[in-house]
Structure 1
Amino acid sequence: MTKYLPDHLLNGYRAFLANRLPQERDRLRDLAEQGQHPKTMVIACCDSRAAPETLFDAAPGEIFVVRNVANLVPPYEPDGEYHATSAALEFALHALKVEHVVVLGHGGCGGIHAALSPSAEPLSPGDFIGKWMSLLDPVSKAVGANDHMTARERQAALERIAIRYSIANLRTFPTVEALVQEGKLSLHGAWVDIASGELWAMDPDTGDFQRPLAGE
C-alpha cells in the first residue's frame, strides 16, 4: 500500500480530527471565511523544538509566524538575495497590518553554532547555511574570537546578540521605521530556554534580557 504521509503524521491528524477539530471548528470556519487578522508577527527559528504557537499557547489565526535558520532578519535589500523573510514581513505590515513584530531566539540554536564554528559537523557551511549565517559575520566573528568566554557562553551570547542584530535590521526597512515612529508598530526581542521553557524578553531601551514573569 502506498504511504502518502509518514505514519506519525497521519496518527497526529487522526488525533486532531478526534480532539482538537471539534473544539476549533467554528474558529477555523470563521478564519476561512473572514481571513486572518493577527496582531503579532513572530520571526522564529525553524528548529522543531522552538514552536511559537506552542510557547505562546496560540490558537489558529492568533499569530503570523515566519521561521528560518536562527530567526534572522536580513537588512533592507530589495535587490539582495534574502527575500523570503523580507516578503513575509512586507505581507505582515501591508496586508495584515500587525502591531507587533517579535524576533524569537532559543537556546542551543544550530544556526548560531554554525556561525561560531563554520567547519563543524553537521552544520558545515555547505551551499546555503554558511551563506545565510554570513548575515551575522560582523558580530559572530567578534564573539567567536573572545577567548575569555567558554563555548557555551559564546553560544548564549551570540543567540541574544543575533536577536538585537535582527531588530536593528528590521529598522532598516523604511515601512518598519515609519510605523515605529508613528507609534503604530512595536518591535520586540525574546529568547527561550528549550530545556526549562523559561522565557526572556529584551528591554527595548537597554537591550538587556530579563524574565518578564520572574515574580510569578
Structure 2
Amino acid sequence: MHNAKPLPNYLVQRFHGWKATTFADNKAWYKRLADEGQRPRAMVISCCDSRVHVTAIFGADQGEFFIHRNIANLVPPYEPDGNQHGTSAAVEYAVTALKVAHIVIVGHSSCGGVRGCHDMCAGHAPELEEKSSFVGRWMDLLRPGYERVKHIEDEAERVRALEKEAVLTSLQNLMTFPFVEAAVKSGDLSLHGLWNDIGEGGVEQYLPAENAFKPI
C-alpha cells in the first residue's frame, strides 16, 4: 500500500510517553490481559464522536468494556442477508463469545449523525438522500424515530428528542437478534440506554417504567 505514511510526530511522542508511564506502571496488568484474554463485563455501543469518551465517564480500565462505535450509536435490526454488518457482528461476538452481562447504548448531545437524519427527513439535506451516501442510508434506521418527534415545535428540543430516539431504536433493534432475546429472557444479559450531555457532563438513563430518560 503506497498511500500509507508514517504516524505524525505528535502521535509518536504521545505513544512513547504512554509506554514510559502508564504501560510501565501497569506492565503486569497488561501482560495478564494479553495472556488470559479479555473478559469484559459490558459491551458499550456509542457514537464515533470524538467528544464521547465512555471509558473516562465510567472510569473504566483496559479490559472492562467491549466497545463498538458507529455513527449515532445505532444498532440495525437482525438481518442475516449475506451482506457485511459490522455492528451486528460486534453484538454477536459480545453476546455469544464474550458473554457480556450488559449492553449499554450511549447517545449524546449535539450528535452530528442525528442532526443529519433530522435535516434529511425534514428535506433540508438532499445530499444525504443520494443512494451513494453511506451516512444517509445508515441514518435511514432512524427515520421512524423522526416521525415520532417531528411534532415538537422547538427545533432544538426536537433534535434532542431524536438523539434519545436513536438510543431507543437501538434497544428495540437489539431484541430482534435471537441470541440477544434469549440471553435477556434467561437473565444472563441486560440492556441499558443512556444519553450523555457533553457540555454539562450529565448522563441520563432510560427508565421503561416511566418511558423517559432520567438523570443518574
State whether TM-score is above 0.5. Answer: yes
Give the match's secondary structure for 1:117: helix
Aligned to 2:198: 194
- Kindly provide the amino acid, as one letter, of the partner of residue 128 in structure 1: F
Q: 2:183 aligns with which of 176, 179, 183?
A: 179
- Kindly provide the amino acid, as one letter, of the partner of residue 40 in structure 1: A
Aligned to 2:156: 152
RMSD over equivalenced CA pairs, Å? 2.1
Distance 1:44 1:98, change over 3 A: same
- Kindly provide the amino acid, as one letter, of the partner of residue 177 in structure 1: E
Q: Does 1:130 align with 2:136?
A: yes
Give 5+ residue unaligned stretches, structure 2. Answer: none
1:26-79 residue CA offsets vs partner (Å, 9 max, x unmatched): 111101101000010000000011021121111110100000000000011111
1:110-155 residue CA offsets vs partner (Å, 9 max, x unmatched): 000000002667x845520000000111122442x32x42221111
Give 5+ residue unaligned stretches, structure 1. Answer: none
Cα displacement (A) at 1:8: 2.6
Distance 1:9 1:15, change over 3 A: same
8 Å contact from structure 1 (residues 74, 82) kept in 2: no
8 Å contact from structure 1 (residues 76, 173) kept in 2: yes
Give the match's secondary structure for 1:189: strand
Measured in 2, the distance between the counterparts of 1:120 and 1:59 equals 42
8 Å contact from structure 1 (residues 114, 120) kept in 2: no
Cα displacement (A) at 1:7: 2.4
Measured in 2, the distance between the counterparts of 1:81 and 1:67 equals 19
- Kindly provide the amino acid, as one letter, of the partner of residue 97 in structure 1: K
- Kindly provide the amino acid, as one letter, of the partner of residue 154 in structure 2: T
Distance 1:31 1:128, change over 3 A: same
- The worse-fitting range, judged by mean Cα deviation, of 133-142 and 57-66 is 133-142
Give the match's secondary structure for 2:26: helix
Q: 2:115 aligns with which of 105, 113, 136?
A: 113
Q: Does 1:206 align with 2:185?
A: no
- Kindly provide the amino acid, as one letter, of the partner of residue 12 in structure 2: L
Sequence identity percentage = 43
Give the paired residue count.
Answer: 209
Q: Does 1:104 align with 2:110?
A: no
Aligned to 2:12: 10
Residues 26-37 of structure 1: matches in 2 within 5 Å? Answer: 26-37=28-39
